[in-house]
Chains A and B, each alone.
Chain A
């Protein structure tokens, strides 16, 4: 049976292929752009660019693991930032300006409120999908529109500026030149990745995503698991909103438009299966890094912005192509016949 113990190098390579691509792209930019790309400042830039997207991807990856989509995240992000501003800032005097409640709540009260708002949105989505058996794609897409619509109503479609310093700490503060947001994102990834790979909930997520019926017959509660995944995703989206608002100190209801597809792309590039059940949050981080490095590199190379979109699309396609091939690669199937035969030869 010695030959069966051999490590499947091909599988190991395929599972971690994405990090090779990240490294390859990084080295390509480093050697072609040189100094500007390799500075410490630029490394920090790449990471802070990745921070907000990274937080959103954690939520998206968790939902994808259950075999569902979450297209609502950017709506949550938009509404939480606008709502936070509405609660915090001073109403503007000039006519036609963005409205604010005039409550001028303390940030420490506002932050829990928006995080809970995100979780409530996730709970609602999860309930609609699991209890009322609605399609996850449509529910979350509609939710995105509804949430963004509410944000638009609250803000009158205007820019809202001037978030308090205490609130901006997460997104804007730098300690010795290192952004807090980056540190928090990295810690989040380490913790969530560890938890999902070692906790019962992580098991449930993947089992439900890969085979819902079997998961149920094995003693899990798929409805609860899926709802909980959406609640986490809503929390992450609100958290990302907090972070982004802290960096921009300004919000508008169109904030974060188009980020949903980026989160799906990053997750899939990072090896999270759209069919559910396979992949990890850590892998998805590789996808985030890849997108961020490409953005940064193309920017520094002064590539025509009209080209940037197309090139990013091509890279996403390429990553999906690899993912599809990965599924096609099947390690040798063991048949009873074969085993009997090998045992005979060994005997």
Chain B
């Protein structure tokens, strides 16, 4: 940790000043400020949709920011293309490294500058020697004659880092490098990264695994809703604080009275899809809101998609109002009373270029059709107008393409679409993702209103605080199994307890 002392006298390798980026419908970055020093591993954490990817895309020169400046090693840019980014010394090492797999390590290292002998042919002996020499300077031991595809994932990542350094990179962005590594691989990778750090290389380390951030990073920056919440020295904080920063504290909380009745309308019995979820048992009452939370990959996502018919559902009993739920396709699910709000609303939720009016009525066209397939426009307009007013969707008119609405209003259009099918069961996957605080409250109100009308709702979400606010019950899913249950208003229903239950999954898993 001798680098900590030198930090004070060194100039930062990267300074981002008030960088903003807006896409239609989303403000992805809002006046982001970030400073990375040489000889530092800088963690970058935040939930999905917090703006990390956009930030990295800006750094790599893939996206142009709308405002702000990026200063790399003293050079100031308002925008970069990817070549400028590489020349400035920024290198990106993704989770799955892309290299010339069928060539040897040495060839990959010296690609483009292979030494030639006096006949103009490649001098292979020299290639291997040179490559070994270079790796030795970084204290990395690899068989340079081995093909890259024969290396382990950790070695490939280390090789990619080395290659970037030979290309004079000064700042290396590591994006989820440990996602598919075993513990011993992680240790080797971390030791390598730390030794480079001590030689003065700067790293930006993106990860969902908070323990790792504490293990390897010197400082950590937390992002939320496109903003930088704060940058802290890792030694000054603990995991709970970090989580609080990610989740957000000051947010106004939504509270509601339970509308749960005694009538059971939705039953899952022994639902199993091998590799995703096992033995799911769940009973939902009319007007009840149940939260479902867990780590990414715990199987809740597949459960939602499977029930709706976007993926294979697996074996087991599903009943709505006591009747067997047999739908295999979304249209059948709508008809049998189950509606689903997808997490990725741009891909599954909305047809962006088409108007609000059409998006709302897609699933109920059969009901609006008069003779020879013609749609009753007047009735359609009336229905859509009702939803625009009822859900407070802000749009200039019904004919506005939905891609031009703000994120919150887009989400409300999806809600209008689902509500128009008059569902018995509603499955919501991350309903507040990519939505402004104000619109979030509106969305809770909509969920609440639907529950009052008797809709049984499952909310699949990683927003624990939000779940505590709106749910009658919260279920925790670990590796495909429902492991914990927290009732509304019970003493043990606290964010800390639920977080531990979720994190417990990791420990059991390893």
Contacts and interface: CB of A to CB of B under 8 A. Distances in A.
Contact of B438 (A206, A219, A340): A340
A30 interface: no
Contacts of A337: 27, 436
Contacts of A312: none
Interface in A203-229: 203, 206-207, 210-211, 213-221
Contact of B353 (A221, A277, A332): A277
Contact of A217 (B349, B365, B406): B349
Place the interface of chain A in its size category.
20 to 34
Contacts of B329: 216, 219, 221
Interface string B399-414: 0000011111100000
B330 A198 contact: no
B140 to A, nearest CB: 43
A199 B404 contact: no
Interface centre among A207, A211, A214 (most CB of B within 10 A): A214
Interface centre among A195, A199, A335 (most CB of B within 10 A): A335
Interface string B355-377: 00011001101101100111101
A200 B351 contact: no
Interface string B329-351: 11100100000101000011111
A331 B404 contact: yes
Contact of A330 (B24, B358, B405, B406): B24
Contacts, number: 111
Contacts of A333: 22, 24-25, 404, 406
A197 to B, nearest CB: 10
Contacts of B347: 211, 213-214
Contacts of A17: none
Nearest to A276: B353
Given A217-B340, A219-B331, A340-B438, A207 B362 contact: yes
B129 interface: no
Contact of B374 (A198, A214, A332, A336): A198
Interface string A1-36: 000110000000000000000000000000000000
A201 interface: yes
A207 B354 contact: yes
Contact of B351 (A207, A330, A340): A207
Contacts of B374: 195, 198-200
Interface string A314-326: 0000000000000
B130 to A, nearest CB: 44
B330 A219 contact: yes
A122 B374 CA distance: 24
A347 B132 CA distance: 71
B373 A195 contact: yes
B328 to A, nearest CB: 12
A300 interface: no
Nearest to A337: B27
B405 to A, nearest CB: 6
A221 B331 contact: yes
A312 B232 CA distance: 64
Nearest to A208: B351
A201 B468 CA distance: 43
B348 A336 contact: no
Contacts of B439: 336
A278 interface: yes
B469 interface: no
Interface in B359-399: 359, 362-363, 365-366, 368-369, 372-375, 377, 394-397
Interface in A290-347: 330-337, 339-340
Interface in B212-244: none
A334 B354 contact: no
B185 to A, nearest CB: 35
Contacts of A340: 438
B331 A220 contact: yes
Nearest to B418: A218
A221 B342 CA distance: 18
B337 to A, nearest CB: 13
B348 A213 contact: yes
A336 B408 CA distance: 8
Nearest to B417: A218
A198 B22 CA distance: 35
A217 B375 contact: no
A54 B406 CA distance: 40
Given A4-B396, A219-B362, A339-B394, A199 B375 contact: yes
Contacts of A335: 22, 27, 406
A217 B348 CA distance: 6
Contacts of A206: 351, 354, 358
Given A5-B397, A198-B377, A201-B373, A334 B362 contact: no
Nearest to A215: B351
Contact of A219 (B334, B372, B407): B334
Contacts of B330: 216-219
B111 interface: no
Contacts of B200: none
A211 B351 contact: yes
Contacts of A278: 353
Interface in B307-333: 308, 310, 329-331
Given A219-B331, A330-B24, A214 B351 contact: yes
29 contacts: A5-B396, A5-B397, A195-B372, A199-B372, A199-B374, A200-B369, A200-B374, A210-B353, A211-B347, A214-B347, A214-B349, A214-B350, A216-B329, A217-B340, A217-B348, A218-B330, A218-B359, A218-B363, A218-B417, A219-B331, A221-B331, A333-B24, A333-B404, A334-B396, A334-B409, A336-B408, A336-B409, A336-B436, A337-B436
Interface of B: 22, 24-25, 27, 308, 310, 329-331, 334, 340, 342, 347-354, 358-359, 362-363, 365-366, 368-369, 372-375, 377, 394-397, 404-409, 417, 436, 438-439
